[in-house]
């Protein structure tokens, strides 16, 4: 017996095949395409194509009778905490200051994560859409993170990210004495077995990082980083490539230097997502974000190094 459902506002504008795979994630892609070829998937009673864009209110009919997979929106278990440092929130987005040692999304059921905490803190009850991060921060990177709270906001933000309408700046504490400013434009190749990337001059994914030294005293420097591309571990690999690895970075840093910082309580790469700025002409329905900048204060471990050196980020307006 065929199964029917209606497109909701969160799904509007998505491709039909993506909507169906979201509802039935275990359905093999080959089987889904076969149903499209045999014209057995209908939109408002007419055969549909896999790449049709759906509209809210349309009725979809599929030839199988299995109900969609229901999402569990209530995190369980004592590992999920509630508190989040929310910088800004409305009905479309939530911007938070992510602590380090916290996953952006849960890797397995009951994991503590940004998304699990948002679901709890906001009392989320909408089964048709789950809060979704628009970009990622590594587990041990702190700072500003944008989460979409509905499907339309997610699509607009994803497109804005692809089109360079969002600027992200980081603060990092690095070893050595970097140049006053520079641009690192070196491709990166990922080794999935080690979860590391390697800078290369020929093959690999294009990656570009712009940096500016704010303050330094020969062995440590505070730098501002702007990631012009968004590759995994980009800031860490690029700063190590120019000879100024991020303090506390066990994968890309200097282990002897890191050991000295461990004795001072530094247990992670001192990289912090400081600001996010939206383009002056940001698209609807998020046009009210146009030209706005949001800031996330660094956490205590980062600030402890600044205080030790007698540095204060407010002195430089960063």
Fold match, 86-162 / 166-315: yes
**Above 80 in pLDDT, residue 1?**
no
Domain spanning 166-315: CATH 1.10.472.10 = no
Q: What is the pLDDT of residue 249?
A: 95
**Above 90 in pLDDT, residue 27?**
no
pLDDT digits 0-9 by tens, 133-164: 999 899 999 999 999 999 899 999 999 999 99
Mean pLDDT of 233-244: 95
In Å, what is the CA distance from 293 to each residue of 67, 178, 181, 210, 270? 43, 27, 22, 19, 22
Active site residue 52: no
Q: What is the pLDDT of residue 279?
A: 95
Cβ atoms within 10 Å of 177's Cβ, excluding its own: 14
Domain spanning 86-162: CATH 1.10.3720.10 = no
pLDDT-derived band at 24, boundaries 50, 70, 90: confident
Domain boundaries, the chain: 3-62, 86-162, 166-315
Which listed residue (52, 111, 138, 279) is catalytic? 138
**Shortest CA distance to 74 belongs to which of 41, 107, 105, 116?**
116
pLDDT-derived band at 123, boundaries 50, 70, 90: confident
Domain spanning 3-62: CATH 3.10.290.10 = yes
């Amino acid at each position: 017996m065929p199964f029917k459902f209606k497109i909701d506002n969160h799904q509007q504008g998505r491709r039909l095949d993506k909507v169906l795979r979201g509802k039935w994630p275990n359905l093999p892609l080959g089987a889904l395409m076969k149903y499209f070829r045999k014209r057995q998937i209908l939109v408002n009673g007419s055969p549909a194509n896999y790449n049709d864009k759906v509209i809210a209110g349309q009725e979809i009919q599929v030839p199988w009778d299995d109900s969609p997979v229901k999402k569990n929106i209530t995190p369980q278990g004592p590992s999920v905490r509630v508190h989040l440092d929310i910088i800004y929130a409305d009905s479309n987005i939530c911007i938070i200051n992510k602590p380090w040692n916290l996953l952006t999304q849960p890797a397995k059921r009951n994991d503590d994560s940004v998304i699990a905490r948002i679901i709890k803190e906001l009392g989320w009850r909408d089964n048709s859409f789950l809060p979704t991060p628009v970009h990622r921060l590594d587990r041990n990177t702190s700072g500003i993170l944008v989460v979409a709270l509905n499907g339309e906001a997610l699509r607009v933000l994803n497109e804005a990210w692809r089109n360079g309408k969002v600027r992200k700046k980081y603060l990092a504490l690095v070893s050595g004495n970097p140049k006053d400013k520079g641009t690192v434009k070196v491709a990166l190749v990922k080794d999935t077995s080690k979860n590391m990337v390697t800078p290369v001059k020929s093959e690999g994914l294009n990656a570009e990082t712009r940096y500016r030294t704010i303050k330094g005293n020969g062995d440590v420097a505070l730098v501002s980083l702007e990631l012009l591309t968004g590759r995994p571990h980009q800031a860490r690999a690029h700063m190590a490539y120019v000879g100024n690895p991020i303090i506390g970075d066990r994968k890309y840093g200097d282990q002897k230097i890191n050991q000295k910082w461990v004795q001072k309580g530094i247990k992670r790469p001192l990289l912090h997502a400081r600001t996010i700025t939206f383009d002056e002409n940001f698209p609807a329905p998020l046009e009210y974000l146009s030209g706005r900048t949001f800031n996330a204060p660094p956490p205590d471990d980062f600030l402890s190094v600044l205080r030790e050196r007698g540095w204060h980020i407010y002195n430089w307006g960063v």
